[in-house]
Chain A
Amino acid sequence: MENDPELKAWASDWQSGSERESSAEAIRLYAQGRNRFMWKWVLAELSVGVVALPLLTYLGWMATDAVERWAMALLALITMAAMCVGWWNWRGSLMASANTTAEFVTVSTERLRRMRQAWRIGWIVLVAEVAVFVVWIWNHLYGQRVPHTALAERFAWGWLAVITLSAVVFLLWMDRRIRRDVEKFEALKRELL
């Protein structure tokens, strides 16, 4: 730049801005507040797991029926998987400190590919979960020869339908979002590297 007066002049113009300056206190408060919020979020996720896992273990242990035990074991597995994905996703938010922009874009693209794999596993888990719940509800309603009301029957199948539909909508939304992000980062990679 020293040997290029025009570039030097542009740099001088570029740096001549009178932009707002952030106060040290504003930076400190914001960073501390958001950092605390993120830790609280992670702790909340862990707390759900800490409550849910012993409860599911207890219910599975106490169940006299094999179907009931399998259902509880599967739910415990899904809870653990959700906790792991949550943690992994949170760790991903720290990636901005990658050594270079090139590395950041490459790691981001790779992370999205892994999310796509997780998304595929999500469909498998959903199908398995629905299968287990169909058997579980069937067993509760018709297999134990215990009388049940029509309302209980409608509630059980309705609940399963709502849960399944919500999961399908979530997975379709995830698919759209992941596709868009992969395309975006691939384009950035082509442009930057």
Chain B
Amino acid sequence: MTVGDSRAESRDDRCVRMLTEHDRAIRRLIASYERDPSRRQDLVQDIWLAVWQALPRFRDGCSERTFVFRIAHNRAVSHIDHWQRRRTDPLDDDAPVAATGPDPEHSLSQQQRRDRVQAAVRELPLGLRQVVVLTLEGLSNAEVADVVGISENNVAVRMTRARAELTRLLGAGGR
């Protein structure tokens, strides 16, 4: 979508499009901050509202993805006290159970791998976790630096530390 197209879109339509496009990413991001499913849904809705309210101030200086991730992280950070209180919750009870792929065995192992990666990411300290989550979502170091507000060098340093920590948590080979 070009800048001209996005300006022609109404605020409602643009906001809804941005949120539906990044809905899965937002939910994955939130899963790294909040384990309780009902609080997670509250946080998703907080993010919808924050994006809706912030949209008039969105300038095309950054990508829509960076804009949505920035708001999602900011909301998640202000929600963090709930997460800290609930970090001992035993498991995610809304984790998908049914395998969705054509090969159930393959899908199950993929689901298990995903759950392990999510659990390992949740164990990371906040400063590392934020950088890892954005990197796993496919953002470049420059984009991560743009969202978090630290230098690219700092992102690289944190990523190195986070990577070592993830390797330790996920075991040799990491998968």
Contact = CB atoms under 8 A, between A and B. Distances in A.
B54 A96 contact: yes
Nearest to A33: B49
Contacts of A35: 49, 52-53
Interface residues of B, number: 61
Interface in B72-90: 73-75, 77-78, 80-81
Interface in A63-112: 93-105, 108
Interface of B: 12, 15-17, 19-20, 23-24, 27-28, 31, 44-45, 48-54, 57-58, 70-71, 73-75, 77-78, 80-81, 96, 100, 110-111, 113-114, 116-118, 121, 125-127, 130, 135-138, 146-150, 163, 166-167, 170, 173-175
A16 B110 contact: yes
Interface stretch (A24-32, A124-132, A138-146, A150-158): A24-32
Contacts, number: 152
Given A6-B174, A31-B49, A101-B147, A19 B28 contact: yes
A176 interface: no
Nearest to B170: A10
Contacts of B78: 96, 104, 108
A20 interface: yes
Nearest to B100: A18
26 contacts: A6-B167, A10-B175, A14-B28, A14-B117, A14-B137, A16-B113, A19-B28, A19-B31, A21-B23, A27-B16, A28-B12, A30-B48, A34-B49, A94-B50, A96-B53, A96-B54, A98-B70, A99-B149, A101-B130, A101-B147, A104-B78, A108-B78, A184-B80, A188-B126, A191-B126, A191-B127
B148 A19 contact: no
A191 B148 CA distance: 12
Interface size class on chain A is 35 or more
Contact of A101 (B28, B81, B148, B167): B148
Interface centre among A15, A101, A104 (most CB of B within 10 A): A101
A1 interface: yes
A192 interface: yes
A71 to B, nearest CB: 39
